[in-house]
Structures are given as C-alpha cells and as structure tokens.
Structure 1
Amino acid sequence: MRRCQQCCRSLESELLSAPVLGESYVLLPTASASQSMLLLQKLPTSAATPPEMGESGAFGEDLYASARYNLSLQQQHQQEQRRQQAQRRQKLQQRQRRQQQRMKDSFTASGRYFEAHVGHASHEDENSEMEDSMVAVPTYADLSHHVQLITTQQAHCAGLPVTTPVCKECMDGMVTMIDGQAERARYEKRCFTSFMHNTTSSPVHNEDIEHIDDKIRFYENELNALEENLKLMESEREAIAKQQETMNEEEKALIYEEANLWDQFNGLKVQEVAFQEIRDAGTAQIDAMERKVASAKHLNILTDMFVIGYGGEFGTINQFRMGQSASFAVEWNEINAAFGECALLLQTLANMVGLEFSDFKIVPLGSFSKMIRTSNLRMEYCLHGSDQQNFAESHFNLGLGAWITCLGQLMSFVRARDPSIRLPYKVAKHSIGGYSILFLKNKHKEWTKALKYALTNLKWLLTWVSARGYSISAPSTMTSVATTVSSKGALAFAANSPIMSGPKESVVIMEHFS
C-alpha cells in the first residue's frame, strides 16, 4: 500500500496535466482531499472524438486507437462517478477533520498539563512528530487508492513519457489492462474485416443494373396509373360527400317531425290514462259504497271501526302495528296512529258505560293524542313518542302510564258490573301481564308484549260493551265528551257516530289529524 502511494506521488508532477486520450488526467494525492477536489474542478469537460477510419477498415493513427477511444468513453463515465464519490468523501473528511481537531486539542491540553507539572522540554518535538505520523496515516477521507492505480495505469498505457519506476502491484494491474484492451482491439478488427468483406465481395454487373432500371420504370408507370385512379376516387368522394350532406339535412327534418308526432302521441296517451284512472277510481268508489250500504244493516259499528288483531309479534288496531322489534323496525308514525286509535277506543268505551276517569282525561287527536292530569297540578302528557324518548320520566312514558291507569279503571268498572267476566291480563300500576308499559332502552321486546296484552284486554272490553247493547249516542256520554275534548277530539269522536259504517273512514280521519 505504501509503495503504490509512493509511485503515485512520484508520477503526480509528470501527469498533472498530461493529455491522455483527448482529456487531461491528474493523479490525485492522498495527503489532502480538498486539494484533490480543487484539481478535479480545474479539469476541462471535453467530449472525446473517435479517430478516423481508413478505407481498409483500420484506424488511421495506430493499432490501439480503437482501444483508446473505447477507454475514453469508459473514463468519462468513471470521471462522473469519481466526482460523486469525491463529494461524499468530502463530507466524511469534514467529520474526520473535526475528530482530528478534537484529538489535537486533547493532545495539546495533555501536553500543557505535563509541561506545567512535569516540565519536559521535548514535548513539543514529540507532539509534532506525533502529528506528522498522524497525517501520514491514510484515512477514509482520502481519495480511493484504486482511482490512483487506474490513473497511473492509463498513463502508462497511453505511452506517456513517465520515467518513474512502478511497483509490482501496479505493473500487474497495467499488464492485465493492456491484455484486455488488446483482446478488445482484436475483436473489433475481426468485426471490421468481416464487414469490409461482406460489402466488397459481391460486384454489381451491368445486366443487374439494366434489370433494376427496368423495374424502376415499371414501378413509375404503375405509380402514375395509381395517381390517376386516386384523382378519380377523390372526385367521386367529393360527390358522395355532397350527397351525404343533403341526406343529413333531410334526415334532421324527418327526425324533428317524428319527435313532434311522438310528443303529440304521448300527450294524448297521458290524457287517456288519466281519464281511465278517474273512471276506474269512480267505479271503485261506487262499488265500495254499494258494498258498505249492503253490509251496514247487520254490522256492529264498534267492531267494524276498531279492528284489533295480531300481525306476527305485534298487536294491531285498524292495521296499525304497535311495538318495536330488533329484527324489524316499525315507523313511529304508524305507532303513534295506533296509540291515537287506542285512546279513541278507550274514551268511547268509557263514555258508553258512563265512566268518568279519575285523575286523568283522554284527548284523542289521532297521531298527536294527549293525556291530561286533572288532580293536583294540571299536567299534559303526550301519547305519541319517538326513539329519543326512551327514558322513564319522558312525557311519552308518563302518557303511557296515565293511559294504562285509565284502562285499569275501566277494567275494574266492568268487573264490578259483571263479576263473571275474567279478563286475560291484570293491570298493576304501569305494567300489564307482568310486562312494563313504559318505553325503555333495550327493552323493546317487553314493551311490545305489554302493548299486545293491552290490545287483548281492549278487545275483550269492546266485545263485552257491544254484547250488553250500550249505545254511542247516549245523552250523558255526548255531553261529557263535548265538555272534555278539544275540537279535533270532537271530530275524532264524530268518526264513531252511527253515520260512519266502516273502518276505512276512521283511518282516513286519523291520518288527516296526523
């Protein structure tokens, strides 16, 4: 390693700016990377031009001109790589300098300490020798020794007048490089010889030239004929284009006329469909009224107006479902309409039997029915809810509690009149059949069962009242209803009068109130 550095230092002065293969190469020293970077920046960036080739296929300068030219291209690429490596090494060198400076500072501080306490006079000489030895040791911040070796070898291969002796390692590398360049030159020589042989081995005869001229004349005549045909086709194309434009205009006119005809036809068709729907609706209404008139004589008004049944796990009144399920969500508009029907039915039954509820008053207003507390402080509770009113003290739950209390009072009144009746479910405070009537979170299944049991008791009470022959138009009941309900409640109560004869009118009135 030390011998190769000595060879490179000895060649530095001779190869500092010697032209090698069309460029200026410089041997980079190892003592200072910053000086090497300055030398690299001074190098000109000139593109290598290939040497001229003779008629025989060989280069005009010498046998090694091709190898030198290829080597110059490789050197340009290597030069760019060296430049990038030099930048990275410069950063490493800066860190190395800082480390060396810290080491020097530490040595200086230690020397001063020993000089002050021990008194050695030769400390400065030893410190300078130590610094020289440290500078002489190669570091990672120096440029690559491989780059120096390649530069020296290239200088020898180019035939420069270098008189400095070379070490064995450098000589071995140079011999290997010269062998590779010689092999590449021999390969290129073979390629050039084959090319020249192929291009000069087949002479052209006069007969072949005449034959080629005949073919050229034939193709020229054919080209002229094709050009004439092309002109005819161009003229035909222009005529066809004009015809196409005329037909396009006619087509647009026909499309516009067809669109107008279709618009008229669609308008007439819509009118016809509308008239048919009106006719069908009138016919359906006539048929429905005829059926109602035919069946009004032998139907019970209460059972016909308040149809209580079951739809799966839900109880229904007039086809309105009551309750909620985890698998199927019932809209609150439908539930509120069902509560309006229940409030109207409970108030109607109480009026028919002559019962006046204590503490509460029912105001049936369809999907917006209310419960009014008459005892103590007058309060108004709603009998229509939503998903947000799922806590115990909500106005909806208070209204449900008041309604179930009124239902319990009616059940007690009926049992007092007829001890033989056995209602299926018992009412205890805010529960019926053991299930709470309040709408609470995560208890939809219990709430649905409680509403189903309440509808069952209402159906039993409706059957009992109808069987006893109570009349809706009793004077006492009419007077009590007129004084206790609002205007909308009076209209809802009028839906239960003997004039109405079916359940559909009741449904229509309740939807109107909602």
Structure 2
Amino acid sequence: MSSTSFLCQRCNKPLKISQELWAMQRRSLEAQHHASPSPKMPVSGKLQARTSRRQHPDRGRTSQESACCTFTLLGEPSTQRTLDSIQNTILETFEIVSGQKDVEHPLCVDCMDGLLEELDAQLTLVEADNQKYKSFVERESLVSEEEREALHVELRAELQSLEQEEARLAQELKDMDQQHARIEAELKAAEAESRELEQQEEQHWKDYAALTMEQLELTDELSSLENRLAHAQGQLQYLSKTDILNITFTILDDGPLGIINNFRLGRLPRIQVEWKEINAAWGQTAFLLFTLSKIAGLQFQRYQLVPRGDHSYIKSLTDDGMLLLFSDGSHNVFYDNKFDRGMKAFLDCLQQLVKVLEKEEGIFLPYRIHVKGGMLEDATGSGECYSIRTHLNTEEEWAKALKFMLTNLKLILAWASSRYYCKT
C-alpha cells in the first residue's frame, strides 16, 4: 500500500483511503501507462497529449474512475515511476498553481455529513424563496388593471412622501452638520480658553508659592526683629537701671593716694608713682569734670577742658595759652610752670561747678577750694590747707591736695548718678 497521505479539506485530519479506491487508482494509472507513447517520444508531444486529454477529462472513463480521480496525487513513494507520470504530475501541479484547474480535496465522514446538512439547509431556504416567488406571481396575475393602477398611484404617493421625508431629513442632516461645525468651533474655543485658564492657574500657583515663600521669609525676619527688639528693650531696661557714671569712673580715697580708674594721682617719698600713671590719672580726672559739666549744663568761663588721655590740657580763653595737665617730672619745683598753672586752672573749673551745685542743689563739699592760691581746705576737719601745685611744695602735701580734690569729685559723681541715672 502506498504511504501517500490525504488531509480533510475542512478539519485537516488525515484520511484513510479504502482498498477498493487504491485498486481503482492503480488500474487507472496502468491504463494510462499502456496508452502512453514510447519513452523515446519528445516531451512536447507528451504535453500536447496531456493537454488534449485535459480538455475532455471524462471521455473514455467509467463513473468509478471519474470519481476516484477527482483529486490529484502529488507524489508516490514507489520507485517504479515512469517519465510520463512525473510529467503529468508536474503539469497538473503547474495548472493548480497557475489557477487553470480547480482542486477538489477529499473530506472525512464527519465533515461530509456537516456539508450535507448545510446544503440541505440552503436547499430549504431556496425552496422557501421559490414558493414565495410563485405565490407572488400567482397573486399578481389575479390583480386587475384598475387595482394595479391604484396601487401604483398609492406607491407613487408613498414614494413622493418618502422623497419629501428624505429631503427633510437631508435638510435636518445639513442643519445638524452646521450645528456640529458650530459646536466643534465652540469646543475648540472652549479648549483654548481652558488651556489659557490652566496656564493662568499654573501661574497663579507659582505666584502663590512665591508669595508664600516671601511670607515665610518676612515672618522669619519679623521674628528675628522681634527677638532683637526684645533683647534691645532688655538691654535698655538694664542700662536704664545701671549707674553708668559709677561704672565709667571709679574713685578710691581711702588710702594714702587718691585713685581714679586704677590710676594713682600723686606720689610720696615712699611710693614713687611713675609720671605716665599720674598723667593718665589726670586725663581720667579731666574727662570726669568734662562729663559732669555737660550733665549740669555748665559752660566754663576763662577756660576750656580738653581731655586727651595722658596728654590732656586746659585751653585759656583769655590769652590763648595751653595749660598742661601732664608732666615728665623734669619741671622745676622752685619755679612756676605750665603744669602748676594747669592744675590751678583745673581747680578754677571745679570751683565753677561747685558754685552751681551749691546754688541750685544745695550741695556742700567737705573740702573748700581756694582758687586764687590753688589750695584745698579741710573744712570739716583740721581746717588746714594744702596746695595743688608742685612749686615750693612737698610730695606729701601735694598728694593730699590731689586726694581732697578726688574726694570732692567722688561726691559730685554720687550726686549726678542719683540725680540723672538712678531710675527705679
């Protein structure tokens, strides 16, 4: 048995061909082989003969042979194939590929049953349509000319009505198209407006974020300013209760020498103070008297204080002379000098301030000042006087006079502190 396989046209399942069909096909091939010309015939002649046979495929065949050859075998595994069978196979393949021949494929039993059922259903539908057509023809033959004319009139009227309805619907469609175009234009305008609004919203949120950030920065700055203001107010309250004069100027008079801001004013044989320290003490003393005069609103007569540290001096307003409040120790104690005249002028300025305080505030100091002689008198004690000059004076008396002067300034300083700076 040949191993050539056939597939079903619909389900593509392999088909098992019966022995009778194989025998019929083998006889047909043998008949073709005996009827063919000798192998020495040219190929063109064989093709002509095959073509002539294809023009009359059923001539000389039995019904069984025609039935078994309604599909084409493309190959056989047998090695005894002739040149004619190979040419026939090639020619049939070419006709199939070129569309000159319709190929009929075999079907399996199940697919054949299904095909028959479909053909039965189609046949039933065709018979129903044929019956309807026959009944319509019979009914048409029974209708008279008047009825047919009336039916035509009715149909024409209905057709006219339908045409009018079609025209109306066409107009409505045109109107709908116009309305659709208008709505589409409005939609585009709305979309453009929506995009613009979205851009405005985005810009609004950007501005809002920027303003929020600015608000946060201003809030932080305000908080910082409030903290600084609270600190400044605390400092102001602290400073308002602080005696700035007592902090700036510290006078000690309980020792052998008067001391102002840790600088000793004066010297003794057993306590040799350098002149640089004495000059610095005189500068602090001049600055204190200058400050007290500003607090009391006093303008000195005849003199002008110029506090300049350890090189302070007093400027005379009468002869434009400069009276020194510093020395290097080289002055002659036996002659009147600018250092002595400067200390005497300082006593004159201090006496002017004391007179104002005695007149306006009723303050009396323990050491009376004698400007003309440059002396300070112990009014509440021994009543002795001590010169503030170095001319024909000893270091002990000069140091004591300077100490009395600082004591008077200390009392005036206490009055100024309680009068102008002590606030509770």
TM-score, with length taken from structure 2 = 0.40
Question: Larger C-alpha radius of gyration, 1 or 2?
Answer: 2
